[in-house]
Chain A
Amino acid sequence: MYINFIYRLRSLGVPVGPGEALTLAQALLAGLHENSVDGFYYVARATLIHHEGHLDAFDRAFLAEFEGIEDVVPELTEELRNWLDEAMKERADQDEESQEYEELTAEQIEELKKQFEERLKEQTERHDGGPYWIGTGGTSRFGQGGKAKSGISTGSSGKGRGAIKVADARAYRPYRSDVVLDIRQFEVALKRLRAFVREGADEELDIERTIDATARNLGDIEIVTRPPSKPNTHVVLMADVGGSMYPYGELISRLFSATKKATHFKDLRTYYFHNCVYGEVYETDKFTDPVPIQELLRQCGPHYKLIMVGDAYMAPYELLAPMPYSAPAELRVSGLDWLTRIHQHFRRSAWLNPEPESRWRGNTIEAVDEVFDMYPMTVDGLSEAMTHLNRR
C-alpha cells in the first residue's frame, strides 16, 4: 500500500530502495506506528530518509500520497517572486538547454514572471519532468526538483499537530540539497591528491624494524625510531568569481569549503581572479589583498599542484589584449600569456570548468583549453583531473 509512496519518493530524487521498504515493513509489523497516521509519518520518515536534505521531499511526497492533495499547484506567492528575482543565482542548475551564455536582464526576468503566470493558467495538472510545464524535475524554468535548486511550492505554514499538518508545514525546505556535486564528492576527489613523507626528528617507534633488530640482537631490545609521517601535498587553488561565473558561485564555494576542510595538504593557497589572470590574483573574493603573479610564483615552487577553476568564457579581447593597462610595458601581456606563464611554472596543473563540455568549442574556452588540461566539473571530470595532477 505504501509502495506507491516509495516510488513517489524516488521520483522526487530521494534514494530509497528495497532495503528501506523492508525496514519500514518490519517497523510496521512490529506496530511501531501505533496504528496512527502520525505514527506512520514519523516511522516512515525515520526509516526511509537518511539526510535532512530529503526531509522536504518526504513531506511533499507524503502530502501528495496520503492527503489526496494534488501535489503542488503554486500560487504566485511572495516566495515565488523572490525566487524569480534570484533566477540569476540559480541559473547554473537550470538552463542546460541554452547553448550560449546569456545575461538575464531585468526585462527578461519580468518576461519570465509573465510567462510563468500564463503557463500557470494553462496548466491543469501536476507534471514531473519535461521541459515545459511547471512541475518537478525536468528542465523547465518553472517548478521544483530536477535541475532547479530551489522550488516553488506553497505549503501552508500552519503549525499544528498531526502528520499532514506537519508535512504541510514543509519545515525542512531550507535543508534541501539536490545538487550535482556535493561537498563529500569534492572531499573524496581531493583526497586522492594526498601524499605523505617522513620528515623531522625521529619521534615515532618503528615497531617492525624494532622487532627485527631485537631479534637480530638475540633478544636484547634494540629500539628503532623514525620520523613521523606528514602530509606532503602543496596545492594552489585559483578560482574565477563574479561575472559569467556568478551562477556557479554556490558550486565554487562548495569546492572551497571541501578544500579547506581537507587536512591532508601541507600547504594550501587559495586565490581569486576575475575572468582571466592579469598580473595579479586576489586573496579574497571581493578582489582585495592582491598578490602579484611573480611574487606568487616565487613563493610557490613548481612542485605545487595548481588547480584553476573557471568557465574561461569571456570576450575575446579580455583574453588577447595586453593587460593591465596601467602596468609597465614588460608586464603588459595578454591574459593568455599570463595563463601560459603560470602553466609553464607548475609541473602539474589542471583547469576545472563548470561549463558543460558541449560549450567548449568556438570561443575563448577553446583557447584556454589549449594552454591548460581542462576537465569538466563533474564527478568523472574531477576524478580525471586528480589522476592527472598525481602523475609524476
Chain B
Amino acid sequence: MSLEFVEFTGTESYLTDPALEAAVRCALTLEKPLLVRGEPGTGKTLLAEAIAEATGLELITWHVKSTTRAQDGLYHYDTVQRLYDSRFGDHDVRDIREYIHMGPVGKAFQSEERVVLLIDEIDKADIEFPNDLLHELDKMRFVVSETGDEVAAKNRPIVVITSNAEKELPDAFLRRCVFHFIDFPDAELMRQIVEVHHPGVNDQLLSQALDTFYQVRELDNLRKPPSTSELVDWVTMLIAASPGSQLDKELALGSELPYLGTLLKKEQDLDSLRNRGSRFQRPRY
C-alpha cells in the first residue's frame, strides 16, 4: 500500500493544535475513520467542515438520531412508491433499481469525487449501531440485497465520526478508528472564543467571568458542568445587565452570582454550588 502524506493545518476560522493535526494526518493517510470525542460545544462537527474546506472536497453529513439504523445510511428501498406506481403511476415499475435510494454512506461511496463523510453524533443511535457499520466502513462496500448489486467506493471517502463523551462505544469499533479527544479550551483560547462572540467586551468583566467559570467547572459533584455555550450566554447576560459594561460588584465564587441559571442548568448543581463548603454528610446508617 502506498501511503500518501496528507497535510492538514486547519482553516482560517478553525484553529488546530499539534495533537489534532497529527490525528487528522493519521486518519487521512492511513485511510481510517477519524473518531472525534469531546464535551458538547467543543467543535467536533465543525472539524469535519474544516477538513472539507481545507481539502476542497464535498461534505456529506449523516445526522444520526435515536431511531437511525445502520441500513438507513446505506440505501432505502422505497416499496411504497413502487407499489403506488404499479397501480396509479405511469412509471416503469419493472426496474427495481428505480426505487433504490442511496443513503449518505451509499452516496459517499458512489461519488465520482473523493468526499468527506461526517457521521454526526453516532452515540445517539442504538448501542449496536456502530457494530452494524463495521464491515461497510472497513471494506468500503456493501451489497444491495434487493438487486444483488454491489456498491463499492469509487474513492475512499474521508470518514469523520463524532460522539459525545458520555456514552460508550464498542471496542471492535474503536479499534478501527483514529481517535482524537478535543480538549476543553483553556482560559486563553476561551477568552478568544468569547471575544469572537462579544467584540470589545470589557476586559475586567471578562477576566472575572472566566475565573469564576473555571472555578465552577472545577467543583466536584456537578452533574452538568457549564461549557462554552453556557459561558457565552452568561457573559451576554452580564453585559446586558451592566450598561456601561462596568461591573458593579465582584463576581467571586461564594458571593451571590448573578444569572447563575444561564451557567448551571440543573437544580442539584445550583444546590451543590450554594452548599459548597459544608462538608459532605455521611448518610445515616
Q: Does B254 contact A (CB under 8 A)?
A: no
Q: Contact check, A15 vs B79: say whether CB atoms are below 8 A apart.
A: no
Q: Does B196 contact A (CB under 8 A)?
A: no
Q: Contact check, A27 vs B26: say whether CB atoms are below 8 A apart.
A: yes
How long is the Cα–Cα vector from A336 to B133 in the complex, in angstroms? 49
Q: Contact check, B181 vs A52: say whether CB atoms are below 8 A apart.
A: yes
Contact for B18 among A42, A50, A171, CB less than 8 A:
A42
What class of interface size applies to chain A in its complex with B? 35 or more
> Nearest Cβ in chain A — how far from B102, in angstroms?
20
Q: Does A149 contact B (CB under 8 A)?
A: no
How long is the Cα–Cα vector from A136 to B23 in the complex, in angstroms? 29
How long is the Cα–Cα vector from A45 to B180 in the complex, in angstroms? 8
Q: Does A242 contact B (CB under 8 A)?
A: yes
Chain B neighbourhood of A49, CB < 8 A: 179
How long is the Cα–Cα vector from A93 to B48 in the complex, in angstroms? 40
> Nearest Cβ in chain B — how far from A108, in angstroms?
15
Q: Contact check, A242 vs B283: say whether CB atoms are below 8 A apart.
A: yes
Interface residue stretch chosen among A207-215, A289-297, A371-379? A207-215
Q: Contact check, B29 vs A51: say whether CB atoms are below 8 A apart.
A: no
Q: Contact check, A50 vs B23: say whether CB atoms are below 8 A apart.
A: no
Q: Contact check, B175 vs A50: say whether CB atoms are below 8 A apart.
A: yes
Chain B neighbourhood of A26, CB < 8 A: 1, 3, 30
Chain B neighbourhood of A263, CB < 8 A: 66
Closest A residue to B67 by beta carbon equals A263
Closest B residue to A314 by beta carbon equals B285
Chain B neighbourhood of A46, CB < 8 A: 19, 22-23, 26-27, 178-180
Q: Contact check, A51 vs B87: say whether CB atoms are below 8 A apart.
A: no
**DSSP class of A's interface residues: helix, strand, loop or mixed?**
helix
Chain B neighbourhood of A210, CB < 8 A: 83
Closest A residue to B35 by beta carbon equals A50
Q: Contact check, A43 vs B175: say whether CB atoms are below 8 A apart.
A: no
* Chain A, range 185-236, C-beta contacts under 8 Å to B: 187-188, 191, 205, 207, 210-211, 214, 219-221
Q: Contact check, A30 vs B174: say whether CB atoms are below 8 A apart.
A: no
Q: Does B171 contact A (CB under 8 A)?
A: yes
Chain B neighbourhood of A261, CB < 8 A: 167
Q: Does B185 contact A (CB under 8 A)?
A: no
Q: Contact check, B80 vs A27: say whether CB atoms are below 8 A apart.
A: no
What class of interface size applies to chain B in its complex with A? 35 or more
Contact for B30 among A23, A207, A219, A274, CB less than 8 A:
A23
Chain B neighbourhood of A191, CB < 8 A: 127
Contact for A183 among B35, B167, B179, CB less than 8 A:
B167
**Contact count A vs B, C-beta below 8 Å:** 104
* Chain B, range 1-23, C-beta contacts under 8 Å to A: 1, 3-5, 18-19, 21-23
Q: Contact check, A221 vs B87: say whether CB atoms are below 8 A apart.
A: yes
Q: Does A323 contact B (CB under 8 A)?
A: no
**DSSP class of B's interface residues: helix, strand, loop or mixed?**
mixed
Q: Contact check, A188 vs B127: say whether CB atoms are below 8 A apart.
A: yes
Q: Contact check, A52 vs B165: say whether CB atoms are below 8 A apart.
A: yes
* Chain A, range 215-265, C-beta contacts under 8 Å to B: 219-221, 241-243, 246, 261, 263
Chain B neighbourhood of A381, CB < 8 A: none
Query: A52-B181, A184-B170, A242-B283 are known contacts. Are A32 and B29 too (CB-CB below 8 A)?
Result: yes
How long is the Cα–Cα vector from A287 to B18 in the complex, in angstroms? 49
Q: Does B25 contact A (CB under 8 A)?
A: yes
Q: Contact check, A42 vs B284: say whether CB atoms are below 8 A apart.
A: no
Q: Contact check, A39 vs B22: say whether CB atoms are below 8 A apart.
A: yes
Closest A residue to B177 by beta carbon equals A50
Per-position 1/0 for B21-43, Cβ under 8 A of A:
11101110110100101000000
Q: Contact check, B179 vs A30: say whether CB atoms are below 8 A apart.
A: no
Per-position 1/0 for A160-193, Cβ under 8 A of B:
0000000000011001000000111001100100
Inter-chain pairs besides A26-B30, A219-B87, A261-B167, 4 sampled, C-beta below 8 Å: A15-B171, A27-B30, A32-B22, A46-B23
A selection of 13 A-B contacts at a CB cut-off of 8 Å is A32-B22, A32-B29, A42-B19, A42-B21, A46-B27, A49-B179, A51-B174, A182-B168, A191-B127, A220-B87, A221-B84, A242-B283, A274-B283
B interface residues, Cβ below 8 angstroms from A: 1, 3-5, 18-19, 21-23, 25-27, 29-30, 32, 35, 37, 66, 79-80, 83-84, 86-87, 127, 165, 167-171, 174-175, 177-181, 183, 282-285
